[in-house]
């Protein structure tokens, strides 16, 4: 059955560079999208920079440029980095767009009409030097529970307590260092408790992982409180209709950026925008996100969509965090690795493969162990997979003008059919985002192919004139196995697959090309040229250096 899928990755924040933590998600999404496209489905894959909020405003001020200039620079950098890792968006846009502004206003007014917006005064901390209300992260002080010093205004990193900024002991502004004042301001709230029945049902309907649903039970048990969706001027964002100097909180308009971005894509490509977002849409909507932003995507976002009569996500795919050599990424340890730093040193295909070999579709954290990274990529991709082509193609080119055998032995045909028979199982793994299992299955096949080569030793057959036919059959079998392995690896190694398609002189590989009609027996290949180099351990060592890349949130 043909499907139409809308797929997004979480929106990278414009106040920083893309780093390897971002790439876990974007590579995972891209692999899944490419697989679905190989299966023949229509996929609209889109993303955008998350551009609003106080951090962007203050960072731009520090650089002496406007927020608009800063987010334009960030967009160009982010897009270049993501393309560098072969991430294939249909559109990479920005939440600071006319479309997102339009839908943020529309949905807010729709909520207001339904009586789901309430306005009341709250007390906040205000920096009189900077003339602004302070976001939680711009206030530091003593934890009211464990009394640890230098803690943020929303939670304590020492004991894990959550609290209001006004609960901090001896608070100070992180901007000016002065004690903030308490001032009262009117704020706009979404009455989230009105959505509780829907959210309880939705979060237990298979739309999010069970472990995520269990975590959300904490919120239901403590009671859903009104969600503050407004911020005071000065603030970089969209002004709330009918509320001068009040702006939408970034977490209100950021997810609406999914709608705004798709609207722009729909206008560019003539797509049916209305069909995508109507409540009974037959199209499917998938969000890939990290577990740190689960609450926003699993509570606030579906509540907003449901109450404004729009469709809700089909599923949220939630992944864990990335550690490097077993530790949280850290600038002081030199393990905070940006995408650009990696690209300056190493082939992006190495990381795509390694992350795929680690990810299993769960919320578990994964570790980039650099020694294991080097060993696994060199062993699997170079020693096992590419080696198949390099060990057989030369004989076919030199002895048979590049032509593969027309017929094979029954044993060789049986081996090829064994590879073909794994297509559905590997597809199931990809569909479930269990790429680690898919890689185990594919590498097991690669081992079988190498055992076949070791058993029949084409280099020895080449020295025996009476074995000419056997030489052609063995090398042809090897290349057909290599073609099938390339097909199975294509979602992970798209650039490699294109090079192999050119080498084998075949059309772009689709998942249906596992059937015998797409085999390459009797086919003429082009001369083999080197497809990938081994990972250089010296360059890997340079990844972890004492550096100070741009901070990101």
Measured in whole angstroms, how far is the alpha carbon of residue 203 from the centre of its chain? Answer: 22
**pLDDT of amino acid 552:** 40
Measured in whole angstroms, how far is the alpha carbon of residue 351 from the centre of its chain? Answer: 13
CB neighbours (10 Å) of residue 63?
Answer: 11
List per-residue pLDDT tens for the chain, 553 residues long.
999 999 999 999 999 999 999 999 999 999 999 999 999 999 999 999 999 999 999 999 999 999 999 999 999 999 999 999 999 999 999 999 999 999 999 999 999 999 999 999 999 999 999 999 998 889 999 999 999 999 988 888 888 777 888 899 999 999 999 999 999 999 999 999 999 999 999 999 999 999 999 989 988 998 899 999 999 999 999 999 999 999 999 999 999 999 999 999 999 999 999 999 999 999 999 999 999 999 999 999 999 999 999 999 999 999 999 999 999 887 666 678 999 999 999 999 999 999 999 999 999 999 999 999 999 999 999 999 999 999 999 999 999 999 999 999 999 999 999 999 999 999 999 999 999 999 999 999 999 999 999 999 999 999 999 999 999 999 999 999 999 999 999 999 999 999 999 999 999 999 999 999 999 999 999 999 999 999 999 999 999 874 444 434 3
Backbone angles phi and psi of 341, in degrees to 5: -60, -45
Listed residue (478, 479, 473, 456) closest to 525, CA to CA: 479
**pLDDT of amino acid 82:** 98
Are 337 and 144 in contact by the 8 Å Cβ rule? The answer is no
Angle at 305 between CA 57 and CA 283, to 5 degrees: 110
**pLDDT of amino acid 553:** 37
**Is the preceding omega at residue 234 within 30 degrees of 0, hence cis?**
yes
Domains and CATH numbers, the chain: 1-116+192-227+249-320 (3.40.50.620), 118-190 (2.170.220.10), 386-518 (1.10.730.10)
Q: How many CA atoms lie within 13 A of 86 on its CB side?
A: 21
Q: State the pairing for strand pair 322-324/366-368.
A: parallel
Written as one string, the DSSP assignment of 172-213 is EETTT-SPPEEEEEEEEEE-GGGGHHHHHHHHTTTSS-HHHH
Beta strands in 13-98 (DSSP E): 42-49, 91-94
**pLDDT of amino acid 158:** 84
Are 291 and 212 in contact by the 8 Å Cβ rule? The answer is yes
Question: Which residues on adjacent β-strands are paired with residue 8?
Answer: 46, 287
At residue 28, the 3 state secondary structure works out as helix
pTM of the predicted model, to two decimals? Answer: 0.94
Instruction: Report the length, in residues, of the chain.
Output: 553
The string over 509-530, giving b where at least 16 C-beta atoms fall within 10 Å of a residue's C-beta and e elsewhere, is bebebbeeeebbbebebeebee
**pLDDT of amino acid 168:** 93
């Amino acid at each position: 059955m043909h499907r139409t899928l809308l797929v997004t990755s979480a929106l990278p924040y414009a106040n920083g560079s893309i780093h390897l933590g971002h790439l876990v998600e974007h590579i995972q999404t891209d692999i899944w999208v490419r697989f679905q496209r190989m299966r023949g489905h229509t996929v609209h894959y889109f993303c955008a920079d998350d551009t609003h909020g106080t951090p962007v405003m203050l960072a731009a001020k520090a650089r002496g440029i406007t927020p608009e200039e800063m987010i334009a620079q960030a967009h160009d950098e982010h897009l270049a980095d993501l393309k560098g890792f072969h991430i294939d968006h249909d559109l990479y846009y920005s939440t600071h767009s006319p479309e997102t502004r339009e839908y943020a206003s529309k949905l807010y007014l729709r909520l207001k009409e339904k009586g789901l917006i309430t306005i009341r005064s709250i007390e906040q901390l205000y920096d009189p030097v900077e003339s602004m209300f302070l976001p939680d992260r711009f206030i530091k002080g003593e934890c009211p529970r464990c009394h640890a010093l230098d803690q943020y205004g929303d939670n304590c990193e020492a004991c894990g307590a959550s609290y209001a900024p006004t609960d901090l002991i001896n608070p100070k502004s992180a901007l000016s260092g002065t004690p903030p004042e308490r001032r009262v301001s009117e704020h706009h709230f979404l009455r989230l408790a009105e959505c509780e029945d829907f959210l309880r049902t939705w979060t237990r309907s298979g739309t999010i992982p069970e472990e995520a649903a269990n975590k959300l039970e904490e919120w239901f048990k403590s009671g859903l409180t009104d969600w503050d969706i407004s911020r005071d001027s000065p603030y970089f964002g969209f002004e709330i209709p009918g509320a001068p100097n009040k702006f939408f909180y970034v977490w209100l308009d950021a997810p609406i950026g999914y709608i705004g971005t798709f609207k722009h894509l729909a206008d560019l490509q003539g797509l049916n925008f209305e069909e995508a977002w109507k409540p009974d849409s037959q199209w499917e909507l998938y969000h890939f996100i990290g577990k740190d932003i689960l609450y926003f995507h699993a509570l606030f976002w579906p509540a907003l969509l449901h109450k404004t009569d729009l469709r809700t996500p089909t599923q949220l795919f939630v992944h864990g965090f990335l550690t490097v050599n077993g530790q949280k990424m850290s600038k002081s340890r030199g393990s905070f690795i940006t995408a650009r730093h990696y690209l300056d040193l190493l082939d992006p295909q190495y990381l795509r493969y390694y992350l795929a070999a680690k990810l299993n579709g769960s919320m578990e954290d994964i570790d980039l162990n650099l020694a294991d990274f080097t060993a696994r990529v060199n062993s699997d991709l170079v020693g096992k997979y590419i080696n198949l082509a390099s060990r057989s193609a030369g004989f076919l080119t030199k002895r048979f003008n590049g032509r593969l055998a027309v017929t094979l032995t029954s044993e060789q045909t049986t081996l090829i059919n064994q590879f073909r028979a794994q297509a559905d199982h590997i597809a199931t793994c990809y569909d479930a985002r269990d790429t680690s299992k898919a890689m185990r299955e594919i590498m097991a096949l690669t081992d079988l192919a190498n055992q076949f080569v070791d058993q029949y030793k084409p280099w020895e057959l080449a020295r025996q004139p009476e074995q000419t036919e056997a030489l052609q059959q063995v090398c042809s079998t090897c290349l057909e196995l290599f073609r099938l392995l390339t097909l199975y690896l294509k979602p992970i190694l798209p650039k490699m697959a294109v090079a192999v398609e050119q080498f084998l002189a075949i059309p772009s590989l689709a998942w249906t090309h596992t059937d015998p009609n797409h085999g390459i027996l009797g086919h003429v290949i082009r001369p083999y040229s080197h497809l990938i180099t081994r990972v250089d351990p010296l360059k890997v060592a340079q990844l972890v250096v004492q550096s100070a890349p741009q901070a990101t949130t």
